[in-house]
Amino acid sequence: MLCCETECGSDFTARVEMDRLPPIHTPAPQPGCGVKQPRSTLRTHPAGQGSAATMKTSLSSDLGMRRGLQLPPLSRGPVLTLPPEVRAPLPPPPTLPLRTKTTADLHSFLEVNAAFKREANGAFDTIDDSGVNTEFVYAVYDALLNTPPDVQKSVLKGIINSLLREWKGPRTKDDLRAYLILLQNPQFSVSSTFVVFAHLLRSASSLTDADHHYLIHWLTSVPPRRFLQLVQRILHLISTRLFPCDGDGLPPPAKTSWWIPTATKILSLLNAANSLSSPAIMSFTEFYSVGLEQVDIMEQYRSWQLHGPRFSFCQYPFILSSVVKKAILQRDSELQMIREARNSLVTKVSRRQRVDVNILFLNIKVRRSQLLHDSLEELSRKRSDLKKKLRVSFVGEAGLDRGGLTKEWFLLLLRHVFQPDYGMFTYQKDSRCHWFSSWKSDNCSEFRLVGTLMGLAVYNSIALDVHFPLYCYRKLLTPPTAPCDQNAPVGMATATMEDLRQIMPDLAKGLGELLSYEGNVEEDFYLSFQVLQEEMGVIRSFNLKPGGDKIPVNNHNRKEFVQLYTDHLLNRCVSRQFAAFYRGFHSVCASNALMLLRCEEVEVLVCGSPDLDMTALQRAAQYEGFTETDPTVRAFWEVVQALPLEMQRKLLRFATGSDRAPVGGLAGLRLKVSRMDVSTDWLPVSHTCFNQICLPPYRSRKALRHKLTIAISNAEGFGLE
């Protein structure tokens, strides 16, 4: 039992009674998580000459405590440029060294280093190499899980004793190596070890920023499977404290309030390491804590906005799933809507004017024949009402907008502005996405309209069928909150070759060949820092730098040429158009909640997720004229489940107007399956504004599959109706 007597972050004293530690529950091996043991790694001891508990190592008995060493300046050692005679030799395959002490005697960070450091006297003081014999570490850890409980208890006792030693002054690199090794201990997968794990996390979180800098870089070398397991252990500890159980054997939540902040801080180091790696070690979604979807996060959001001293998960947005972030953004939008409606109501009453319920809404009234012109006029005239609840009506048409007319207005308007002939956006066939046209730069009001539409869709929780590249959403978050100065540059995100490849893959491929060309670039390519660009049948020239038409591209400046050309295509030549688009979006979605979002999450909020779960869609479906057990309904879902993914996307587009799932998955879509009492020769009909598909009472599954395939394969634009 380990009893802490001081607050988090200070030195602490404790007493250890290993006999009272809770029993160690060895986790069952996970399917697919087996590790191949390195050859010659583990040696089997003859009977009576040792066991896994007494694996011997050559620990030096005169290793003393090294305290108060000053950290050298952070530097990335130029390993590749060192002469051969001073380069560190490649380590041989790991073998288990003979020990003079048992694993229970590893009671200090120095002893941990002596056991697992590649070279006992090696400095290893750069961010490039931790100096840890990782294969040996993982071999020992894998063997540890198969040892008796008393051996595992001894290892935990060693960790406790290491943490209890009194440290003063800055940590040495050996200390940081010990943290790197101990954090990956698989014993921390079970809750009975969480007391020790939490104290280890707290000790690591109290390191200086410079020490954390080293740990982040060393963590990038952890194998993906081990990295994921470490993240999952910390998330498990957080969930255990979020939803405590009486019988979990852990201290009461009142005495462990520091567990969650400490664990989240260490998780932020892992997230930084994941972001630093290229490509990323694992998907950013693996850092999501699903348990937070069941927690009211708005109190923490308000505390974070006020910059209060209390811990808030909003300080670490990587742990919040897109479902949680959408809930925050939606709730923040609702509060802004209520505030705007209240202000309008108070203004009317204070002026003794007649109160009309319409002042509580953003009322858009348009003619179908003049849809774009009327929409632009309405949104420009009612700019101060954009944060009210949206309500749309069409001139000459009766009916109340209960969501269907609003969705129809979005669909028709976007279909119009994204037509290639209209000239606002160019469709890239290879990447199947739209990009901003550099041609229409004289009047940017229409780009502001499209940005406003996207903002209104997010604000009113409506998914749009738009296809922008991910780089567009990164530009939307540059910066995440709009500056007050209307002339301040916005959307100027750093453009890379990978960003260009997402939009114009053929051009990116050609530029990549230019960079890798081994011949004479100037003589063979005959390029200059002036480029030609064709749009709408007109060719125009642009200098990438002053006097670019007189500067040839050669082997020495070709990287500069590629970077300037990429920046020109994605930033400079569309800067006015995108600035108007950015201002339109942020005129509606002006919320601090945007600071919590990644560009991938903004994309999901705007147009939904590409991941489809038809089983979830079936469970949430509603029926009109049918029952869930009706033969036609059962045949319909059997056909849908058997469709290939591309056809399922076509079905979703046919029924809803978009081939993507909303945030949270298809369970939140509420598809309505309705009966049409017509001849079975009819094809299915959809009403995309209401997420509704209408089926005649087909007599067989074969007939239903045939008719449905024809319908979804020939529906264009935004569905049949």
Active-site annotation holds for 33:
no
d(CA 671, CA 653): 12
Q: What separation in angstroms does the CA of 213 have from each of 71, 181, 223, 315, 321?
A: 12, 16, 19, 19, 26
What value, to the nearest 5°, has the Cα angle with vertex 602 and ends 219 and 282?
Answer: 25
- Active-site pick, 314, 573, 607, 689: 689
Read off the tokens for 447: 């780009």
Please name every residue paired with 531 in a beta bridge, in sequence order, or none if there are none. 542
Query: For residue 108, which amino acid is it?
Result: S
Side-chain-side CA neighbours of residue 588 (13 Å): 28
| Cα–chain center distance at 68 | 39
Contact assessment for residue 333 and residue 591, using Cβ atoms and an 8 Å cutoff: yes
What value, to the nearest 5°, has the Cα angle with vertex 360 and ends 359 and 364?
Answer: 70
Q: What separation in angstroms does the CA of 666 have from each of 140, 467, 602, 659?
A: 44, 19, 18, 11
Please name every residue paired with 622 in a beta bridge, in sequence order, or none if there are none. 672
Residue whose token pair is 């996307």: 649
Read off the tokens for 331: 């709730």
Q: Provide the H-helix boundaries in 277-395.
A: 298-305, 322-350, 371-381
Read off the tokens for 45: 């001891």
| Cα–chain center distance at 254 | 32
φ/ψ (deg, to 5) at 615? -65, -40
In sequence order, which residues have a C-beta less than 8 Å from that of residue 133 and are 6 or more positions away? 91, 94, 116, 117, 118
Residue 692 host element (H or E)? strand 692-695
Active-site residue set? 689
